Structure 1
Amino acid sequence: MALSNEEQRLLEQMEAALAAEDPKLVNAMRGTGTRRVHRRRAALAGVAFFGGLVLLVVGLYLATGARGYIALSVLGFVLMVAAAVIAILSWQHVGSAVEAGDRPDRAKTAQGSRAPGNQGFMDKMEERWRKRRDEGM
């Protein structure tokens, strides 16, 4: 069922208000970002790795009868190494690709704006170090 012109206009106004109020949510809902690209690249590299493995095994199997198929095995091995490097680099980007504003502010956490029960180990250690340094001076 299609929306009427008035409903379409109201929907557009609501979308604009939401985009103005919370742009991070809008970006997350659109799926724009580098995570998606890097995740797809890592998946394709995984497929290429298994393709290289197949070439390696087939080349070794065929190399028992003839010498020309060793190049196929070498090609498969090179493909596997290249795919593994690409997959690892892409997967690292997936883990570190955080949209702006998603990371906790280090200055705020170090100053104790978080609840004491939610502090991480390193935050607690930094806070203790600051107290010792400040008391000593």
Structure 2
Amino acid sequence: MPLSDHEQRLLEQMERALHAEDPKFASALQGADLRALFRRRALLAVIGFALGIGMLVAGLVISQIALSVGGFVVMLGCAWLAYASWRRIPAPGEIVPVARRKARAVTGKSGRPGGRQKQPTMRRFEERWQRRRDEGNM
């Protein structure tokens, strides 16, 4: 549910006051932009994947098996890193609590399988049914 204009102004006023009183604490609460961090990590993994392909091809051209195998290993590692980073990108507008941010950065786990927790099927059906009933009564 979006905030009203009055609530939005109050929130902005409180943020400005916090920044004025203790800018170090306010910047610690803001934290890093997780979307940018994971996108950057995925991009670097794609670049590493391309370098792995180059190593693989170079090893085949100059008949160096070790270089080809090394290139293949680099490709696999970078593909895994790109996939893992891409899955962990939070949705736009998702607020990640500070404690969960630190847990993600340290353990690499989002606390949810696949980035999104799936509800049991019956619960989803019940919620849909309830919404239809509520919309019909209005």
> TM-score with structure 2 length normalisation?
0.49
Higher relative contact order (CA 8 A, sep 6+): 1
> TM-score with structure 1 length normalisation?
0.50
Q: Which has the larger radius of gyration?
A: 1
